[in-house]
């Protein structure tokens, strides 16, 4: 199932008009068009049936945003917040079926649960319909104003900058993005019975100014990871995920170059805009420290952000962490070209986030991982 499988037919047709598809993707394209036509009446029903509920839904508290570039440990952090019953999360169910998520509550989730893989293809993380997911995946299923459309149209990589690091430079696009994002957040609020949301999507790391204007009392946790591991893991992820999503031919050299620029633009945007967040509303952590000593790191987050009684929820964190014993992480080596490429393009990140730069031929030791 494509990440934008439930995209509204008019939106999909508009994207197809703007992006030429490849010959080899025509079977996949026809299947997706057929599916979009099939769900269109259900989507219209949901819009009419729940218009009033959506209009009157308000967030009781601004969200907790979990920031970090892709492959930096954001999912692990999100799953930890999911253990705390005070927080609601945007689920795999909603992310996939955003346009009809209220209509399909219960029956549709059960129907599609068997079609979901048990683990993510890029990193072996367990999946279920109710597990946390990125709100960006819900947004891509309702609007053309979403950064992840580059997954279907990888020859249009500029869409990432348009709706991440450059978001706000075009007021029409900004308002359209905000409208779509609020639709996603309101629906998540309804599906979580009004609980405060803990939201994770890597793209938000480059949107601090916009998020701060929309949610001035939001809390933020930014997680970083050793740049060598982020780079290698990103390349691995796209090679596993993009071939099953793309409706265009994939230029892997262009993708690899884009990864370098996207990290640079996103993380520099974060560094420039983080001062907009009140000091007591932001915590910055390292993945390596969260992995090594999760409970002290989580306790520090709760205290800094005033998220409530950590000791009350500590047993839930302990149970979850104890059950991760069978989780197998991806293992990577770091050839000379990886080290040289990261040093050349992401050199700023070592000083900014407290990691030790190594040279080709050196080993990435525990000390150099943690800085």
From the CB of residue 308, how many other CB atoms can be counted at a distance below 10 Å? 12
Q: What are phi and psi of 317, to 5 degrees?
A: -65, -45
Residue 350 falls inside a structural domain: no
Name, in order, each residue with C-beta under 8 angstroms of 257's C-beta and a sequence gap of 6 or more. none
In the chain the first and final C-alpha atoms are separated, in Å, by: 40
How many helices (DSSP H) and strands (DSSP E) are in the chain? Answer: 18, 5
Residue 358 falls inside a structural domain: no
Residue 360 falls inside a structural domain: no
Residue 368 has pLDDT above 50, yes or no: no
What is the domain range of residue 314? Answer: 9-345
pLDDT of residue 46: 96
Residue 54 falls inside a structural domain: yes
Residue 371 falls inside a structural domain: no
pLDDT per position as a tens digit, 193-214: 999 999 999 999 999 999 999 9
As a whole number of angstroms, the distance between CA 250 and CA 272 comes to: 32
Residue 368 falls inside a structural domain: no
Residue 94 falls inside a structural domain: yes
Residue 13 has pLDDT above 50, yes or no: yes
Q: Characterize 231-269 residue by residue with b for buried, 16 or more Cβ atoms within 10 angstroms of its Cβ, and e for exposed.
A: bbbbbebbeeebeebbbbebeeeebeebbbebbbbbbeb
As a whole number of angstroms, the distance between CA 162 and CA 204 comes to: 13
DSSP designation for 180:
H
Residue 326 is encoded by which pair of tokens? 């069978």
**Where do we find the tokens 């509920």?**
53
Q: What's the half-sphere exposure (Cβ side, CA atoms, 13 Å) at 252?
A: 10
Q: Which of 61, 96, 64 has its CA nearest to residue 81?
A: 64
- With a pLDDT cut of 90, the percent of the chain lying above it is 85
As a whole number of angstroms, the distance between CA 217 and CA 138 comes to: 23
pLDDT per position as a tens digit, 23-46: 999 999 999 999 999 999 999 999
**β-bridge partners, 167:** none
Q: How many domains is the chain built from? A: 1
Window from 54-58, 122-126, 229-233, 297-301 with minimum mean pLDDT: 122-126
pLDDT of residue 327: 47
Give the H/E segment covering residue 222.
strand 219-224
pLDDT per position as a tens digit, 307-335: 999 999 999 999 999 988 654 555 556 78
CATH value at residue 174: 3.40.50.300
Residue 364 falls inside a structural domain: no
Give the H/E segment covering residue 264.
helix 252-273
Residue 279 is encoded by which pair of tokens? 């000091």
């Amino acid at each position: 199932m494509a990440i934008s499988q439930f995209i509204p037919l008019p939106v999909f047709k508009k994207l197809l008009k703007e992006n030429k598809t490849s010959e080899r993707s025509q079977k996949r394209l026809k299947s997706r068009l057929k599916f979009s036509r099939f769900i269109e009446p259900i989507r219209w029903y949901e819009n009419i049936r729940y218009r009033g509920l959506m209009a009157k839904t308000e967030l009781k508290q601004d969200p907790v945003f979990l920031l970090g570039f892709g492959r930096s440990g954001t999912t692990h952090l999100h799953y930890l917040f999911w253990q705390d019953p005070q927080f609601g999360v945007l689920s795999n169910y909603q992310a996939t079926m955003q346009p009809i998520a209220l209509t399909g509550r219960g029956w549709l989730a059960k129907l599609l649960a068997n079609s979901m893989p048990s683990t993510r293809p890029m990193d072996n993380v367990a999946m279920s319909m109710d597990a946390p997911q990125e709100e960006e995946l819900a947004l891509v299923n309702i609007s053309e104003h979403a950064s992840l459309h580059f997954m279907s149209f990888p020859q249009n990589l500029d869409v990432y900058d348009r709706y991440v690091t450059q978001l706000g430079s075009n007021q029409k696009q900004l308002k359209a993005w905000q409208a779509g994002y609020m639709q996603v957040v309101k629906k998540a609020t309804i599906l979580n019975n009004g609980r405060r949301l803990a939201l994770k999507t890597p793209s938000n790391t480059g949107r601090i100014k916009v998020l701060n204007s929309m949610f001035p009392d939001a809390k933020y946790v930014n997680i970083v990871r050793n740049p060598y591991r982020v780079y290698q893991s990103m390349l691995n992820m796209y090679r596993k995920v993009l071939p099953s999503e793309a409706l265009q031919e994939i230029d892997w050299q262009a993708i690899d170059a884009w990864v370098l620029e996207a990290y640079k633009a996103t993380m520099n945007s974060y560094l420039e805009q983080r001062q907009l967040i009140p000091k007591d509303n932001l915590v910055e952590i390292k993945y390596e420290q969260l992995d090594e000593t999760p409970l002290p790191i989580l306790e520090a987050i709760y205290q800094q952000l005033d998220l409530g009684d950590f000791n009350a929820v500590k047993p839930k964190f302990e149970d979850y962490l104890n059950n991760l014993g069978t989780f197998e992480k991806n293992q990577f080596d770091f050839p000379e070209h990886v080290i040289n490429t990261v040093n050349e393009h992401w050199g700023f990140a070592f000083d900014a986030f407290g990691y030790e730069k190594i040279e080709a031929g050196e080993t990435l030791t525990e000390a150099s991982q943690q800085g």
